[in-house]
Structure 1
Amino acid sequence: MRHRASFALLGALALAFPSNPALQARPVEAAPVAAPAGIAPSRVVPLQGGRNFRDLGGYRTGDGRMVKWGLLYRSGSMTGLTADDYASLEKRGIRVVCDLRSTAERQAEPVNWPHAGTPRVLADDYGMDNGQFLPKGDPRQFTADQVRGAMASSYPRLLTQFNSQYRRMFGELLAGHAPLAFNCSAGKDRTGIGAALILTALGVPRETVISDYMLSNQTLDPAKLMGGKAMANSPFAALPPEALKLLVGVDRSYIEAAFAVIDAHQGGAMGYLRDELGLGAGEIQRLRGLYLTRR
């Protein structure tokens, strides 16, 4: 059985494209980028209507530097943001939002930024067939192991399907267009891979990257997620509880499946970033100069 619902967690049709010479030509020197003053560092951003809205700041890199607070945000759908939330994000100075959601997801859960402080939103129009992300058959009969295996097998495909959008996100970061937020619907799969790529490029150790990924199990409310408009008519609501938990949450095996592809690339993670995302030594140096601090 193949499902064509607007599934809030997965999917896209964007394909990888060759290395971008424009990115490789950027100068290595990095102008300073700083978060707005007066914003208290917090891993989970305190928002009334936020969904898995988190700051990637504070993580230590292998050389002892630290990711700057208040510049790199990951999130789920922002459809529930309140007027106070928008005011809070305006104070944070978010300049760009990379919205990884499909056309149908954005229509089901629109985000109505107020005129004041509206960031530039980057999104692609695409549709998706979600059956490729679950085992074949009747969802009511799926086991937890089947769902875990299907989810893990989907992550390598997401690396390829979203290559163009991840490239664009890195292009914005290289240009210093921050604070920047990137999101999908739940903020855990497409967004989780994006966060893993950013932290890896910045030199954050693998176990720390995986720990950040696993935080979604603590910061996502499955009941609220399943109650969202994008999931209202989804057949996935028929899944057994343990299988549903693995679908709306995260498991270490999912992100490890993506890392297996990255590590198998010639030159490992740095080779993957160079060849698949256009991040050569100069771009890596620039990213680290912009978004890391010695403090």
Structure 2
Amino acid sequence: MTQARILPLEGINNFRDYGGYEGLDGRKVRTGLLWRSAQHGDASDVDLAAVSSLGIAHVIDLRGPSEREMKPCRRHDDFAGQVWTYPEETAGLALHTEAADGVLTAAEARAAMVRLYEGIAFRENLTPMLRLYFELLLRAEGPSLVHCVAGKDRTGWAVAMAQHALGVPREAIIADYMLTNDASRLEERIAAEAFKDLPRYASMDAETVRALWGVEEDYIATALKVTEHRHGDLDTYLEQVLGIDAAKREALRAHYLEG
């Protein structure tokens, strides 16, 4: 199921179905409805046709205006989904790009990523988009896609919270998060030294870039731990910060769990 959930595309990384995991009471999360990915600015025409065929009703683009201007997403001519964006910056820079500032070693890169994950659940201009994402999920109007630049940090947190709301166990949430390292072709891109063409990364070695471009369990574990520490548990965070109370969690489960 791990590889089966990844949609192999030419120019869009990390495109995958995050359904299929066991949710509340052992009921599986439905497949074909919940998608996640990186940006679509480098999508090929073949990619666009493949994405269009999924029947996506809503695209939630977690990037801010500067990121969208830098890499506008391509869409198929027949794409009929509605694209939702936020008018202000949601990160300033993608988290991994922000973390790269002044970093020289892999240890520094990991420390920078962990620091950013300490606050990922509470970013002022990200939480409105997370609330919108859940509102759209509750509408249940068809398949949805959530993405940012790399589809791993902001998107990773959004997906982790959606999976938690559906009762997916912590270990499966982390496993899906870690799948980014395969789905984004991380090792292939590093082996090709693709980062050497980017000034921000040109002076780094492969291990340092790996810590920034990939994901590690410590990143998401830190975000979960800090959130639970502030709110007592994730259900309280969902209710107090994202507006998803017990009744809405039950509605989400009715929509997205089998049986």
Tell me if both proteins adopt one fold, taking TM over 0.5 as the criterion: yes
| Aligned partner letter, 1:244 | V
Q: Which has the higher contact order (CA 8 A, sep 6+)?
A: 1
| Aligned partner letter, 2:12 | G
- Where does residue 133 of structure 2 map in the other structure? 169
Corresponding residue SS for 2:177: helix
Kindly indicate whether residue 225 of structure 2 is the aligned counterpart of residue 248 of structure 1: no
Rounded Cα–Cα distance in structure 2 between residues aligned with 1:172 and 1:130:
23
- Where does residue 145 of structure 1 map in the other structure? 107
> Higher Cα Rg: structure 1 or 2?
1
Question: Deviation string for 1:14-43 (max 9, x for gaps)?
Answer: xxxxxxxxxxxxxxxxxxxxxxxxxxx931
RMSD: 2.5
The 1:67/1:146 distance shift into structure 2, 3 A limit, reads: same
Matches within 5 A, 1:10-21: none
Q: Tell me by how many angstroms 1:232 deviates.
A: 5.8
Q: Tell me by how many angstroms 1:108 deviates.
A: 2.2
Residue in structure 2 matching 1:116, options 78, 82, 88: 78
Residue in structure 1 matching 2:69, options 103, 107, 112: 107
Q: Which moved more, 1:45-54 or 1:68-77?
A: 45-54
Rounded Cα–Cα distance in structure 2 between residues aligned with 1:74 and 1:227:
23
Rounded Cα–Cα distance in structure 2 between residues aligned with 1:125 and 1:186:
20
Q: How many residues align?
A: 249
**TM-score normalized with structure 2 length:** 0.87
The 1:234/1:181 distance shift into structure 2, 3 A limit, reads: farther
Q: Tell me by how many angstroms 1:210 deviates.
A: 0.2
Rounded Cα–Cα distance in structure 1 between residues aligned with 2:251 and 2:129:
20
Rounded Cα–Cα distance in structure 2 between residues aligned with 1:241 and 1:150:
17
| Aligned partner letter, 1:91 | S
- Where does residue 203 of structure 2 map in the other structure? 238
- Where does residue 3 of structure 1 map in the other structure? none
- Where does residue 187 of structure 1 map in the other structure? 151
- Where does residue 27 of structure 1 map in the other structure? none
**TM-score normalized with structure 1 length:** 0.77
Rounded Cα–Cα distance in structure 2 between residues aligned with 1:185 and 1:135:
15
Rounded Cα–Cα distance in structure 2 between residues aligned with 1:289 and 1:210:
23
The 1:136/1:95 distance shift into structure 2, 3 A limit, reads: closer
Rounded Cα–Cα distance in structure 2 between residues aligned with 1:53 and 1:244:
21
The 1:279/1:220 distance shift into structure 2, 3 A limit, reads: same
Ranges in structure 1 where 5+ consecutive residues have no aligned partner: 1-40
Ranges in structure 2 where 5+ consecutive residues have no aligned partner: none
